[in-house]
Amino acid sequence: TEDRMVYTDVKHSHRYGDGLISINQANLSIRTFNALSLAGFRYINEFEGINFTKLYRLKNFGTKSVKELNAKLKEFNLKEMYH
């Protein structure tokens, strides 16, 4: 599965394998990473173009986490979440 991950020292426009970007390699804050991980999410791509209001149901996931995740989507050239 190593070919699925994008390392942060590599230009983000490059994707490996099937194009999935692991949340492990996205340099998210501890709080955001833990909230997503505990909820069972594995890839940044899972949030591409979704309505972010559903994410507020996750424990420890608030406005700052939504902004951070949207910034990561943009950084990896993925479609941002909407309201």
Side-chain-facing half-sphere of 50: CA atoms under 13 Å: 13
pLDDT tens digit at each of 83 positions of the chain? 333 333 333 344 344 456 899 999 999 999 999 999 999 999 999 999 999 998 999 999 999 999 999 999 999 999 999 98
What's the confidence (pLDDT) of residue 83?
81
Work out whether the CA dihedral 40, 45, 50, 52 comes out positive or negative: positive
Whole-prediction pTM? 0.75
What's the confidence (pLDDT) of residue 41?
95
What's the confidence (pLDDT) of residue 17?
52
> Over 18-49, what HEC string results?
CCCCEHHHCCCCHHHHHHHHHCCCCEHHHHCC
What's the confidence (pLDDT) of residue 6?
35
Output the six-digit token pair for 48. Answer: 């591409």
